[in-house]
């Protein structure tokens, strides 16, 4: 025997019942003296004997165990690693043995650290407290090292690594058997060599933990109430007691798993075997029936549940197994992502054991570690969470076949945020409910063409698109609007890319995926805009066509074709009546009315390169037509009732209000804000974009309703409505934004035609009424949530007063640009005459102009006057009524009709104030004096497009002003406008 071997004590544990006692001569004199000697001597030993015998025993126990580990390493583990792998099984065996030695070395290292802490404590008992011991202060770390060794050891047992290693070098181990028996106490001469090695590698640890528990219990009893030492001792005692249970169960499971692998067929073993897998329960030991699968055998492992049915093997990841807590007799329910089973047993106790073991196995699989007792409650909850986050690939036939879901689960179904990916490149990221897409989600669907995708950013309900969505198609089309059951339904806009060969845009109503109802389609290729009704994706019913050349047609369509008589207005205001072709050419019998009143009635036709030709009667005796019957002709007023045009926009908001404004439908109604760059489709980041979270005071429905309750008096309400209408995340703001979209689609671009001014004016007023009704509906919901009731319904007069006085001024700026353009076009001829008159009148000096306008001379301001306290002095001696002129010019700085009327009133006050200063007394101007003075101020103000301004004010004016001062002043301004257009105003000064 080499000298080195005599430096380490042998395994020296008390013999267990039924085991051989070591021969006396196997222990040398030096070793006996070492084991029997106290670790301390002198005064310290006496103190130790009186107060710390448990600590001394722990020290001796650690010394012996450390030496034992070193001896096991040199005599057993190192030789085992001399295995030369020649096949996959040998390589696996070697890897497991290497891991075992690594775990053993970690165990030896922590034992040495424990030894050091014990020695320091015993050398300096007064300076170092009991809580400094590694076994107490670092009990969790020590425990983890022990558990890692046990895991490594049991993996070797399961794979029969000892047997394979001995078999590879049987001659070596036979030659070393006697030496091993001499050096490793407790190694019997019976049994195979691999069994002996397994015993040597396990029994010392088992007995050592047993001694730990015994000494820690004694230490706990003597520690008293000294905290934190007593708490640490109690904690360590509990941990090592649990470790004992863990070791017993781990060894039992390893033996059972090893036996299972030997009994299974090679096919089943190849399908199920892994070194780390452990068998927890076998239905052959505790019978169990499974329905509806009718499995012949059930195997519960620590990571999977296996159902064997003939040659079929059904495996289920325990992380995705849910055990229904409700029991029905001897049956319990299991849920998996694709299947569900009922497990039953003849005996109630067997069913309880199976259910308990599966539940605990699921808990440990989710935690990714084994607690102790292995199948006990441990320190954490013994009930697995219902909500989990996992990845799973669906295998069953159906829409999810081969799709991989990664995200949140609930009771076996995708539930919460997650991502679905199909092998063909299709992806869906968003929220799920009970296995179906539900809530906001983004779906990419690859097209046959390379790098082409259809992208659906939408609100989903029960697996189908439902609510607002933005869909970008691989064919360079984009749809923004509402869906129902996966089809376009309700209001929506479909637009092709600007660079598309045939750019087209449809804005309107959809029904079950087809254009249906009122809608606007712009065909840039033909230069046409269609306004009218649709059915089954075709123009059907009354409609208006406006061309880029300014031509307007109104008639009836059937299955996308013009049928019956119609009227056509040319840009020069000629009126054509009859039947037209798709190219808007009059054919057959018809009539043409020219702007000068001449008419041509007869038969019309067209030929290649010949234009329109006719055969009929030309009537030149007719009187010139009234302007209102020519350039003022308005289309669509009688055939499209204003209240029914945009029901696809109003409807969802009404439904939302009627259902009580539920928060889960808010996004489906209002839409969302996400990045919309087509280039991001190639990047995985595109699938990570989320809808805007409505978590601020401007977005949460509860805060919106509360704000309406807090701002009900007129002044506060106006501020509240202004804020709401400017916020696209507010229901009122979203409604206004959508109405702006329809207005621009109808009346901008090709739709900017004077014959549509009446149609546009009606819509603006109707939109104001709908916005007020939407506000009232939201207020009613807010009051109902507080248990209050809305006051009685408003009468028509009260409603109109609020609409014109409150809502219309706030929303009119959103439509003003397109609306005012229509007024400009409609009154272009009058404004042209007015501009010419203004130009001629500007040539007159002020005094000459006052004389020309028959202003009484005693009203002329001939001196350099301070006209008002807030206006500057006149810069020119005969510059008259400067303050009134500057005041009137402000009429074009506002879009609010009431503010425009107030500007007009202030202008009138400025004229009266100037006259009063001239006369030296307060003076009220009669109409005969006011009109020429007002003409003078208007001519000097030189407001462009005054006719358009006047008519817009008249049309949008609050009805309560009818017959009042504002009406009187507006009438006076209209008279001035008409006077300036007259021919006698167009002469130059002498």
pTM for this prediction: 0.77
> At a CB cut-off of 8 Å and minimum separation 6, what does 173 contact?
79, 166, 193, 197
> At a CB cut-off of 8 Å and minimum separation 6, what does 484 contact?
466, 490, 512
Euclidean distance between CA atoms 974 and 309, whole angstroms: 94
Rg (CA), the chain: 47
pLDDT at res. 983: 61
Instruction: Pick out the chain residues at pLDDT < 70.
Output: 1-51, 183, 185-189, 223-226, 326-327, 371-381, 450, 607-610, 623-632, 671-699, 862-879, 983-990
Q: Dig out the tokens for 768 from the structure.
A: 């104001």
DSSP string, 23-57: PGGGS-HHHHHHHHS-S--THHHHHHHHH-HHHHH
Report the C-alpha dihedral over residues 616, 621, 626, 632, rounded to 10 degrees.
20
pLDDT at res. 327: 65
CA distances from 902 to 811, 908, 953, 954 (A): 19, 10, 11, 13
Euclidean distance between CA atoms 731 and 719, whole angstroms: 16
pLDDT at res. 626: 62
pLDDT at res. 151: 94
DSSP string, 334-360: EE-SS-EEEEE-SSHHHHHHHHHHHHH
pLDDT at res. 678: 42
User: In this structure, are residues 782 and 702 in contact, taking their beta carbons and an 8 Å threshold?
Assistant: no
Pairing of strands 289-291, 561-569: unpaired
Which residue matches tokens 């919901």?
781
pLDDT at res. 226: 62
Q: Give one word for 463, left, alpha or beta, with left for phi > 0 and alpha for psi -120 to 50.
A: left
DSSP string, 110-139: HHHHHHHHHHHHHHSTTTS-GGGSHHHHTH
In angstroms, how far is CA 448 from the centroid of its own chain? 28
User: In this structure, are residues 579 and 588 in contact, taking their beta carbons and an 8 Å threshold?
Assistant: yes
Euclidean distance between CA atoms 137 and 828, whole angstroms: 94
Q: Give one word for 962, left, alpha or beta, with left for phi > 0 and alpha for psi -120 to 50.
A: beta
CA distances from 343 to 288, 300, 328, 410, 678 (A): 7, 13, 10, 21, 51
Q: Give one word for 963, left, alpha or beta, with left for phi > 0 and alpha for psi -120 to 50.
A: left
């Amino acid at each position: 025997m080499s000298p080195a071997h005599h430096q380490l004590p042998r395994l020296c544990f008390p013999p267990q019942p039924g085991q051989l006692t070591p021969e006396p001569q196997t222990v040398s004199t030096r070793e006996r003296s070492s084991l029997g000697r106290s670790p301390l001597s002198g005064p310290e030993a006496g103190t130790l004997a009186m107060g710390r015998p448990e600590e001394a025993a722990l020290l001796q126990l650690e010394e012996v165990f450390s030496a034992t580990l070193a001896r096991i390493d040199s005599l057993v583990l190192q030789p085992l690693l001399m295995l030369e792998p020649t096949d996959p099984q040998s390589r696996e065996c070697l890897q497991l043995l290497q891991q075992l030695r690594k775990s053993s070395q970690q165990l030896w290292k922590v034992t040495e650290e424990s030894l050091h802490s014990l020695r320091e404590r015993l050398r300096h008992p007064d300076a170092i407290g009991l809580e400094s011991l590694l076994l107490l202060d670092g009990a969790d770390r020590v425990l983890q090292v022990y558990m890692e060794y046990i895991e490594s050891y049991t993996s070797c047992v399961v794979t029969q690594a000892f047997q394979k290693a001995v078999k590879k070098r049987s001659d070596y181990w036979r030659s070393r058997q006697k030496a091993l028996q001499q050096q490793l106490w407790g190694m019997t001469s019976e049994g195979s060599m691999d069994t002996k090695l397994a015993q040597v590698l396990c029994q010392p640890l088992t007995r050592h933990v047993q001694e730990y528990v015994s000494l820690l219990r004694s230490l706990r009893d003597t520690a008293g109430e000294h905290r934190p030492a007593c708490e640490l001792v109690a904690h360590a005692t509990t941990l090592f007691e649990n470790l004992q249970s863990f070791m017993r169960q781990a060894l039992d499971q390893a033996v059972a798993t090893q036996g299972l692998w030997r009994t299974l067929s090679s096919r089943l073993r190849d399908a199920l075997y892994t070194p780390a897998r452990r068998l927890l329960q076998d239905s052959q030991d505790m019978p169990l029936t499974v329905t509806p699968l009718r499995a012949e055998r059930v195997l519960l492992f620590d990571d999977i549940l296996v159902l064997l049915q003939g040659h079929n093997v059904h495996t289920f990841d325990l992380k995705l197994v849910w055990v229904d807590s409700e029991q029905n007799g001897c049956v319990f329910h299991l849920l998996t992502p694709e299947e569900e089973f009922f497990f039953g047993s003849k005996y109630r106790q067997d069913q309880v054991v199976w259910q308990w073991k599966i539940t605990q196995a699921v808990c440990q699989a989710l935690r990714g570690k084994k607690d102790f007792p292995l199948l006990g409650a441990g320190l954490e909850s013994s009930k697995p969470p219902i909500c989990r986050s996992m990845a799973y690939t669906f295998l069953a036939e159906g829409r999810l076949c081969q799709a991989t879901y990664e995200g949140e689960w609930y009771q076996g179904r995708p539930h919460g945020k997650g991502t679905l990916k199909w092998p063909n490149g299709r992806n869906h990221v968003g929220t799920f409910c009970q296995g179906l897409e539900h809530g906001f989600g983004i779906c990419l669907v690859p097209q046959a063409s390379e790098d082409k995708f259809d992208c659906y950013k939408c609100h989903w309900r029960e697996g189908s698109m439902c609510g607002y969505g933005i869909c970008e198609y691989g064919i360079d089309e984009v749809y923004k609007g509402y869906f129902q059951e996966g089809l376009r339904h309700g209001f929506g806009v479909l637009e092709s890319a600007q660079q598309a060969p045939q750019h087209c845009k449809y804005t309107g109503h959809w029904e079950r995926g087809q254009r249906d109802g009122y809608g606007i389609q712009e065909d840039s290729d033909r230069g046409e805009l269609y306004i009218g009704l649709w059915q089954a994706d075709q123009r059907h019913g009354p409609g208006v066509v406006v061309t880029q050349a300014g031509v307007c047609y109104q008639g009836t369509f059937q299955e996308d074709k013009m049928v019956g008589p119609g009227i056509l207005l040319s840009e020069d205001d000629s009126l054509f009546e009859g039947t037209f072709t798709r190219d808007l050419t009059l054919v057959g019998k018809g009539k043409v009315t020219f702007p000068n009143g001449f008419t041509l009635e007869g038969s019309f036709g067209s030929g290649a390169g010949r234009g329109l030709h006719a055969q009929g009667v030309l009537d030149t005796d007719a009187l010139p037509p009234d302007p209102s019957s020519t350039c003022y002709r308005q289309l669509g007023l009688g055939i499209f009732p204003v209240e029914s045009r945009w029901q696809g926009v109003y409807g969802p908001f009404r439904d939302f209000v009627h259902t009580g404004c539920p928060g889960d439908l808010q996004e489906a109604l209002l839409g969302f804000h996400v990045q919309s760059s087509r280039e991001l489709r190639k990047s995985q980041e595109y699938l990570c974009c989320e809808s805007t979270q409505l978590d601020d005071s401007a977005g949460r429905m509860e805060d919106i309703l509360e704000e309406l309750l807090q701002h009900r008096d007129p002044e506060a309400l106006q501020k509240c409505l202004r804020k709401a209408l400017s916020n696209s995340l507010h229901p009122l703001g979203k409604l206004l934004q959508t109405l702006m979209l329809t207005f621009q689609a109808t009346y901008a671009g090709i739709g900017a035609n004077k014959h549509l001014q009446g149609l546009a004016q009606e819509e603006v007023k109707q939109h104001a009424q709908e916005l007020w009704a939407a506000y009232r509906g939201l207020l009613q919901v807010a009051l109902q949530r507080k248990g209050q009731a809305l006051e009685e319904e408003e009468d028509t007069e009260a409603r109109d007063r609020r609409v014109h006085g409150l809502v219309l001024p706030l929303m009119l700026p959103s439509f003003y640009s397109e609306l005012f353009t229509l007024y400009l076009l409609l009154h272009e001829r009058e404004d042209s005459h007015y501009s010419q008159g203004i130009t001629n009148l500007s040539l007159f000096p002020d005094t000459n102009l006052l004389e020309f306008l028959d202003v009484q001379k005693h009203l002329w301001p001939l001196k350099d006057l301070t006209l008002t306290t807030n206006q500057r002095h006149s810069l020119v001696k005969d510059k008259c009524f400067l303050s009134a002129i500057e005041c009137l010019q402000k009429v074009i700085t506002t879009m609010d009709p009431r503010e425009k009327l107030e500007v007009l009133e202030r202008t009138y006050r400025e004229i009266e104030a100037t006259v009063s200063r001239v006369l030296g007394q307060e003076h009220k101007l009669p109409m005969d004096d006011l009109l020429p003075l007002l003409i003078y101020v208007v001519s000097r103000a030189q407001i462009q497009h005054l006719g358009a301004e006047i008519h817009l004010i008249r049309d949008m004016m609050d009805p309560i002003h009818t017959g009042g001062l504002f009406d009187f002043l507006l009438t006076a301004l209209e008279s001035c406008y008409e006077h300036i257009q007259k021919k006698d105003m167009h002469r130059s000064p002498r």
